[in-house]
Every structure is written in C-alpha cells, then in structure tokens.
Chains A and B, each alone.
Chain A
Amino acid sequence: MYNAKFIIPGLIVFLLLVLFPFVKGFGTPEMKVELEKPKTAKQCVLKTEQMRDSHMVLLNEWRDMALREDKRVYTAPDGKKYDISLTNTCLQCHENKEKFCDKCHNEVGVDPYCFSCHNLAPVKKEGGK
C-alpha cells in the first residue's frame, strides 16, 4: 500500500487508544454504587430493577402526563396512587440528592438538569416546613 510506513503505525496507535479503556478495566470488579436507601418507605413507585433501568423514562412520562395532559395522579402497577411530582413524591423518600441520586449519576457521568428547576427539599408529609 502507499505510505505503509505511516498507515500501519497509525492503525496501531488508533487501536491502542480505542481499546485502552477495556484493557485498563480488565479484571477490575463490577461497578458497585452504595446508595443510601430511604428510611421511611420500603417500596418505590416501581420495582427497584425497573427504576434503576428506566426511572428517567418514567420521569419523562410523568412530565408529559402532568404538564401536557393534566393527569396528576399515577397509578403504579401494584395499584398504589402517587402524586406526580419529582420533588413532592420522589424526594419525599429519597431525601438526600448527594447520597442517592448523585451516587450513580456521578459514577456514570450523567448530569441531568432536573434540579435546575425542581426543588431539593420538599415539605415533609407531617405538614409545615
């Protein structure tokens, strides 16, 4: 081939760069994140595995249900009804964003902008601030 003395080393460098993360991580244990579980509730809106995989999908559905369709109550598969609200429902139990939400988000490098608007410290169920 033309310019073989540039192309072959170039290909090798490229492969090294692309495969580096896999080589580095080989043999290290699976990623584990320690989340602080809520103290009061045992049951989330959906099952834990479902939430872990698709809570962002659920939140998007909630957003459109509440804002655009004016449906403000969500009936979970187990029949329980929840007020559709990130702050008032989710954060009621998952009180500490840093010890819960950020743990996974920081680890996988996502930065959702939900909290640029939705408040972090909800009113407590007992009433009063």
Chain B
Amino acid sequence: MHGSRRDFLKLAGVTAMGLSAATLGLLGDGAQAADALPQAADFANPLTAKRWAMVIDTAKLDEDTMEKCIHACHSFHNVPEIAGKQTIKWLWKDEFEATFPSERPDYLSEDVKKREFLLLCNHCTNPPCVRVCPTKATFQRPDGLVAMDYHRCIGCRYCMAACPFGARSFNFQDPAPFIKEVNPIYPHRTRGVVEKCTFCVEHLAQGQLPLCVQASEGAMVFGDLSDPDSVVRKVLKEKFAIRRKPELGTEPGVFYIL
C-alpha cells in the first residue's frame, strides 16, 4: 500500500476507537466486547495467522493506559494478585534497563529514562521453554503462539528456568483466594502449574484481538508477521522497532517502537 503515515495512523486510530468503544462496556470488570456466554456460533470466524506478532509503540503508552491493559488481561484471565516474590503476572510494566538489559543503558534520553514499558511473553519463534518442557505442556501452535496446557503441566518449572525474558509465573499456592473478582467465563489455575500470557487464544478463536491490544488505545497492534499486508508489517516498515534480548536467537514476536 502506498498510504502515508498519516493515513495509517488514521486507520489505526479508528480501529482502536471502535474496539475501545466496545471494550468500554458497562458490563463490569474485565469486560470484553461480548461478555455474555460464548456460543458455538461465536467461534465460526476466528482470527488466523501463520505467525502472530505484536508491536508496541512505547511512546504512546502512558501510566493509565498501561494499567488499563494490565487490568484488562489480569481480570479476564483470573490472574491472582499475590504480593511478594511469589507473585504471578502475565503482563506488567518495568523501566528501560529491566526491559532491555542488553542495551546496558548509559546516558539515556530523558523521556526514555522516565518511560515505562509493557512486558509479557514474547511468543518466540524459537522458544527455549517449549524445547525444554518434558511433557509438551507448553507447546508451539502452528500460528506461532506458545500455548500452555495446564492439565498436563507437572510443575517442574524447567520452562521458567529456560525463559530468558522472565515471562512465566508459577502457582506456589492455590490462587483462588487471591483472585479479586472471578470471571466465570474463563477458568483460573490450580497450585503447582506454570502460567503466562497466551496472546488471548480464546479471543482470537472468536475473531477478537487480545485484550491488552484492545485496551491500549492504538498503542499496540497485533497481526500476522508473515502477511506483508498485515498491520504489524506495515508498522514495522515505517518505524524502527527492537526486541528484547535478540542476541539469544529466540526470535521474539513482540516488537517495541522506542
């Protein structure tokens, strides 16, 4: 496409507004566009891809938006709120040095120094966590997503040791007492299994974008990296984006525009 940057931003903005409008429903916490029960018909038109990826425009994310994204994810997926070092998080924020430690930042620009970044599972193309799982409880789907099967996980935490990005959390105890408001549509987990961001597979199956993308007000885009016409490819053509710890060769699927 020969659209200008301006046209693209217009398109992204309208899409984001449309999605946010649906998301800003009056249906309570963790609401998604269809908070009512999913029916069989809802799964008729899933979003498909050969390789899902996400681009985060970090300059567009402010504290409030990031909180909205984290809240959207954690409240829908019944992620417990556990304080301390045995915490569980699928999506969280941190500063530059923690997000990009290989940069070994010195003399950062003022605004990047103050900026916070959203961190999540990178759904790598070459995931070390999948390589080491002894039961295939974590596995790579044909669309590039790194998925979790909580039924099969034996809780050996080898995947947690293997993940270079610290994206995985272990249920050291029963999470149920720590879930603020249980979302009945989505299960929670039990003690003794590892969990992480799933790129909202259940939403993709219903033709919807991941919850954090929906809540991000256009700062995050999500699409098929192998499709040259997808929104992620378009953004990546126009803006320079980096990934976390690229030297390890895991080929993360989350790009950050600084």
Residue B213, interface by CB 8 Å: no
Are A125 and B151 neighbours in the complex by a CB distance under 8 Å? Answer: no
Task: Give Cα A67–Cα B149 distance, bound, in whole angstroms.
Answer: 7
Task: Give Cα A85–Cα B35 distance, bound, in whole angstroms.
Answer: 15
Q: Chain B 40-52, CB within 8 Å of chain A: the 1/0 string? A: 1111101000000
Interface of B is mostly: loop
Shortest C-beta distance, B173 to chain A (Å), equals 12
Interface size on A, residues (CB 8 A): 29
Shortest C-beta distance, A86 to chain B (Å), equals 8
Shortest C-beta distance, B204 to chain A (Å), equals 9
Would A83 and B43 be within 8 Å (CB), given that A67-B149, A127-B35, A128-B36 are in contact? yes
Which residues of chain B have C-beta atoms less than 8 A from A73's C-beta?
Answer: 40, 43-44
Residue B139, interface by CB 8 Å: yes
For the A-B complex, the count of residue pairs with Cβ-Cβ distances under 8 Å equals 71
Which residues of chain A have C-beta atoms less than 8 A from B188's C-beta?
Answer: 117, 119
Which residues of chain B have C-beta atoms less than 8 A from A128's C-beta?
Answer: 27, 35-36
Task: Give Cα A68–Cα B174 distance, bound, in whole angstroms.
Answer: 24
Residue B84, interface by CB 8 Å: no
Residue A118, interface by CB 8 Å: yes
- Residues in A100-129 with C-beta less than 8 Å from chain B: 113, 116-119, 121-129
Which residues of chain A have C-beta atoms less than 8 A from B201's C-beta?
Answer: 70
Task: Give Cα A53–Cα B147 distance, bound, in whole angstroms.
Answer: 31
Who on chain B is nearest to A92 by CB?
A: B37
Residue of A68, A81, A121, A128 with most chain B CB atoms under a 10 A cut-off: A68
- Residues in B166-204 with C-beta less than 8 Å from chain A: 174, 182, 184-190, 201-202
Residue B3, interface by CB 8 Å: no
Which residues of chain B have C-beta atoms less than 8 A from A82's C-beta?
Answer: 40
Q: Which residues of B contact A (CB under 8 A)?
A: 27-28, 35-44, 46, 139, 141, 147, 149-151, 174, 182, 184-190, 201-202, 205
Q: Which residues of A contact B (CB under 8 A)?
A: 63, 67-68, 70, 72-74, 81-83, 85-88, 92, 113, 116-119, 121-129
In the complex, besides A83-B39, A125-B37, 8 extra interface pairs with C-beta distance below 8 angstroms are: A63-B151, A68-B147, A68-B149, A87-B185, A92-B37, A113-B190, A119-B188, A126-B36
